[in-house]
Amino acid sequence: MIGSPLKNIIRYSISGVPYDVWAFPGLIFILGSIVIFPPLFREFFDLRMHGKSLINIALTPHSKTKIVFSNLVVAIVETIIVSILTGFIYTSFIEISFSFLNALFFLSTLILYLFLIGNLFITFLLIIDTLNSVLLSISIIFLINIFGNGFIIETSFFPNGLGDLLTFHPLSLPFQLYRTFNSIGIINLKILLSLFPIIYLWVLLNSFLLKRKMLQ
């Protein structure tokens, strides 16, 4: 796993938590980023490019918003199931204690994150029409996401300006919400509530992109 090699370099987090324990939430977020991509790729790129079911569905009376949202929800449900199973496996090797409230909030922030990263993937899958460009774009997103969201390297290690940017960009906010709650037990409601309109507007944007693609 990603955290294992880094454990030999970073033994403790800045707050003094053993690295394998500290990295656990970030590894689940990374896993979620990976697992959610294949079903979205299938629905919004592969089937679209090969003229299969997505086009037929898009021609039905269902709104494009409903199509985008329903596919996103299905992908998120699949990802959550895999993430929970992986979490249980990970905790069988590493001693990690989770309270019910902590686990519930972690799951909530993971779902919010999956809505954001899922929408980002859908946007790229709809605006790009070549496989090589899709794979290159998604690879860059994965790299930035893994190392720039504080999943396995704390943003405090980066220079001040860059660290602040990485901490407060939309994809990083759900994870930072969980870190704050886990460390001091406080939920930043301002940041939490700001994520819902971002997700809603992003779904609308992807619905518009889907509609344009179906008209081409």
pLDDT by 10s per residue, the chain, length 216: 444 444 444 444 445 567 777 788 889 999 999 999 999 998 888 877 776 656 566 566 568 888 899 999 999 999 999 999 998 888 787 777 778 888 899 999 999 999 999 999 999 999 998 989 999 999 998 888 887 777 877 766 666 666 566 667 788 889 989 988 888 888 989 999 999 999 999 999 999 998 887 776
Which neighbouring-strand residues pair with 12?
Answer: 18
Please give the radius of gyration of the chain, using alpha carbons only, rounded to the nearest integer: 18
The pTM (predicted TM-score) of the whole model is 0.85
Phi, psi (degrees; rounded to nearest 5) at 195: -70, -30
Per-residue b/e over 50-83, b at no fewer than 16 CB within 10 Å? Answer: eeeebeebbeeeeebbebbbebbeebbeebbebb
Cβ atoms within 10 Å, residue 38? 13
Q: What pLDDT is stored for residue 52 in this prediction?
A: 62
d(CA 143, CA 67): 29
What's the pLDDT score for residue 206?
94
CA distance 65 to 207: 5
